[in-house]
């Protein structure tokens, strides 16, 4: 497999040195983000269009930015998606910052060449109802939209919301001194509450709850707050029926349906980048494919069903082997370009967007939180974060434990405190510029590896008696395959084909006028041959929208 970049790395270094992204180094709320996006369309009308796909239950638009030149929907496309989960605001900044950087450099020779070959579809924030909580007077980590739901199934919706018991504007934790409790102070950092380890003879000293009041008196706290449905739990792959925040049914929400419809309609998209809790860039996925000798029943396209699937229902549940190779290569480039290392184990949730984009949409799908604090094996992520915060003199990430009067525990010592919401997923604002620049550099570098077809070894032979033999190879000179292996048997992946257009008086003696081209790995070719009766010119066309379509005229004399 080829791994050399078509566009020099030093070029990207020159670009990122001059980018003016997030010049104020502040996170953008829904209003400012939307205004900035529409400004991009006005400033770069020849290469940028902005579309509103739908409105959420909270009345916020899901905006999409298309960046490219020429026939945008008929050449390889890349989707970049931010705001996949509401408490990962960094993804919104990376996606919107990527769009701004790409447009800023759209007149430079190399980026202009890239935009001639690749179209970018950018959805900066697909969870605007949830991310807006970061900018609200009362801050708590929210992952759901404004759809009113009965989360605790007591036939009442949104009846047990968050309450700010110490009036500091943050929802943290309450701890109650109680011998029946199951929590103790952590040995790594006494500020943190952890479950008592019975194997070490520890006894619990505290009850620990989310900060609030048990409004419905069911022994649970804040379990049915405002909203909603989580965008990142509402997709069809491995959907959890009746799951918390998963929605009444798959793709039940306007935003999930609009995003899925938009992507399904863009047959030219060959890969998806998303930013959220799932991660196959920090730690690439591993194939669970079985022995090559295992029987493989044929599929409708004449290929073979892969064994990396659930035996119970025949559903593929693991990345396929050649896609694993690409995932590893892209992950290595991510580490190299961004400098990220020591990624924690990826958080897996059912119905998530990253898995849907791969298993059901059938595209290469890459996701990362883009920022994390590495904890040593077996150590607490919270303790690792507080250690990092102390070293960086981040003094505004923890609410010290302080006693309050709580009506639910009037006769017991009750305290409020803990790590503030968002801070473990949201890097300091003054680091945003570098993070966005590095991810811009990464995505554009990977985009240069797009599938790209060319004709090689094109030959014509006069066979006599007005007969001519044509032979040629269709070669994928890109590094990415013409489609992900998972998409080779997916109805939403366009089949590549090669066709001949004859002049009047010509006919095909052998070979097919229209023929399918099999999936081509990077650097791989397929050979075709025809026997044509009649002189003149023959036009040969090959490809599909996700690879680009090429054509050439062949003279028969």
- Residue 143 within a domain: no
What is the band of 408 on the pLDDT scale with cuts at 50, 70, 90?
Answer: confident
- Residue 91 within a domain: yes
Strand order in the sheet with 453-464: 453-464, 467-476, 525-533, 507-510
Nearest residue to 549 (alpha-carbon basis) of 490, 502, 486, 498: 498
Q: Tell me the pLDDT tens digit for each residue of 309-342.
A: 544 456 888 999 999 999 999 999 999 999 998 8
What's the CA gap between 512 and 404, in Å, rounded? 81
What is the band of 158 on the pLDDT scale with cuts at 50, 70, 90?
Answer: low
On whether both 251 and 200 belong to a single domain, the answer is no
User: Residue 216: what pLDDT?
Assistant: 57
pTM of the complete model:
0.88
On whether both 415 and 327 belong to a single domain, the answer is no
Q: Tell me the pLDDT tens digit for each residue of 233-285.
A: 999 999 999 888 899 999 999 999 999 999 999 999 999 999 999 999 999 99
On whether both 479 and 347 belong to a single domain, the answer is no
- Residue 308 within a domain: no
What's the CA gap between 538 and 552, in Å, rounded? 8
pLDDT of 293 over the 80 cut: no
On whether both 265 and 344 belong to a single domain, the answer is yes
Tell me the CA distances in angstroms from 305 to 326, 423, 445, 458, one per residue in order.
20, 44, 32, 34
On whether both 459 and 488 belong to a single domain, the answer is yes
Q: Tell me the pLDDT tens digit for each residue of 163-177.
A: 888 999 999 999 999
- Residue 309 within a domain: no
- Residue 35 within a domain: yes
Q: How many domains does the chain have?
A: 3
User: What is the extent of the structural domain holding 365?
Assistant: 9-134+229-285+315-371+427-447
On whether both 205 and 274 belong to a single domain, the answer is no
Query: Residue 499 belongs to a domain with what CATH number?
Result: 2.60.40.10
On whether both 66 and 102 belong to a single domain, the answer is yes
On whether both 515 and 536 belong to a single domain, the answer is yes
Q: How many CB atoms lie within 10 A of CB 428?
A: 14
On whether both 474 and 502 belong to a single domain, the answer is yes
Contact 468, 364 (CB under 8 A): no
On whether both 105 and 235 belong to a single domain, the answer is yes
- Residue 507 within a domain: yes
Q: Return the minimum-mean-pLDDT range out of 142-146, 251-255, 495-499.
A: 142-146
On whether both 188 and 331 belong to a single domain, the answer is no
- Residue 144 within a domain: no
Query: Residue 63 belongs to a domain with what CATH number?
Result: 3.40.630.10
Tell me the CA distances in angstroms from 308 to 37, 199, 286, 323, one per residue in order.
41, 38, 11, 12
What is the band of 162 on the pLDDT scale with cuts at 50, 70, 90?
Answer: confident
On whether both 458 and 418 belong to a single domain, the answer is no
Contact 208, 190 (CB under 8 A): no
- Residue 4 within a domain: no
């Amino acid at each position: 497999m080829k791994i050399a970049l078509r566009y020099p790395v030093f070029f990207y270094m020159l670009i990122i040195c001059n980018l003016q992204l997030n010049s104020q180094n502040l996170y953008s709320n829904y209003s400012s983000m939307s205004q900035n996006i529409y400004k991009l369309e006005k400033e770069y009308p020849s290469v940028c269009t902005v579309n509103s796909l739908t409105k959420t239950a909270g009345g916020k638009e899901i905006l999409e930015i298309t960046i490219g030149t020429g026939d945008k929907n008929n050449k390889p496309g890349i989707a970049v998606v931010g705001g996949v989960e509401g408490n990962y605001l960094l993804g919104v900044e990376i996606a919107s910052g990527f769009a701004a950087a790409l447009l800023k450099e759209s007149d430079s020779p190399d980026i202009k060449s890239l935009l001639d070959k690749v179209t970018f579809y950018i959805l900066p924030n697909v969870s605007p109802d949830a991310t807006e909580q970061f900018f609200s007077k009362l801050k708590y980590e929210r992952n759901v939209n404004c759809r009113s739901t009965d989360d605790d199934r007591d036939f009442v919706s949104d009846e047990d919301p968050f309450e700010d018991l110490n009036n500091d504007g943050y929802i943290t934790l309450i701890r109650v001194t109680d011998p029946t409790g199951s929590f103790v102070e952590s040995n790594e950092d006494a500020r943190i509450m952890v479950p008592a380890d019975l194997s070490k003879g520890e006894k619990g000293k505290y009850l620990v709850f989310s900060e609030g009041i048990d409004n419905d008196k069911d022994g649970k706290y804040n379990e049915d707050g405002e909203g909603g449905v989580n965008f990142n739990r509402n997709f069809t792959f491995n959907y959890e029926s009746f799951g918390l925040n998963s929605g009444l049914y798959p793709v039940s929400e306007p935003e999930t349906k609009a995003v899925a419809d938009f992507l399904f309609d863009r047959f030219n998209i060959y890969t998806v980048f998303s930013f959220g809790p799932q991660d196959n860039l920090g730690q690439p996925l591993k194939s669970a494919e079985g022995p090559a000798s295992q029987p493989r029943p044929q599929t409708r396209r004449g290929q073979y069903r892969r064994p990396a699937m659930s035996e119970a229902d025949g559903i593929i549940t693991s990345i396929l082997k050649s896609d694993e190779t690409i995932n590893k290569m892209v992950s290595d480039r991510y580490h190299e370009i961004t400098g990220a290392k020591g990624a924690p184990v990826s958080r897996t949730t059912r119905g998530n967007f990253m898995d849907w984009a791969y298993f059901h949409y059938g595209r290469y799908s890459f996701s990362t939180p883009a920022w994390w604090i590495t904890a040593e094996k077996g150590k607490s992520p919270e303790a690792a974060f507080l250690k990092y915060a102390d070293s960086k003199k981040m003094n505004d990430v923890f609410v010290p434990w302080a006693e309050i009067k709580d009506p639910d525990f009037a006769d017991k010592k009750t305290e409020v405190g803990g790590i503030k919401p968002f801070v473990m997923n949201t890097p300091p604002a003054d680091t945003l510029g570098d993070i966005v620049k590095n991810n811009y550099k990464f995505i554009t570098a990977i985009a240069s590896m797009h599938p790209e077809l060319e004709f090689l070894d094109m030959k014509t032979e006069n066979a006599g008696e007005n007969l001519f033999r044509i032979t040629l190879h269709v070669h994928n000179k890109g590094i990415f395959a013409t489609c992900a292996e998972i998409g080779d048997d997916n109805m939403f992946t366009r089949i590549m084909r090669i066709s001949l257009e004859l002049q009047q008086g010509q006919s095909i003696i052998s070979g097919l006028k229209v023929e399918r081209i099999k999936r081509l790995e990077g650097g791989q070719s397929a050979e075709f041959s025809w026997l044509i009766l009649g002189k003149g010119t023959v036009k040969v066309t090959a490809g599909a929208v996700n690879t680009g379509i090429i054509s050439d005229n062949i003279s028969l004399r």
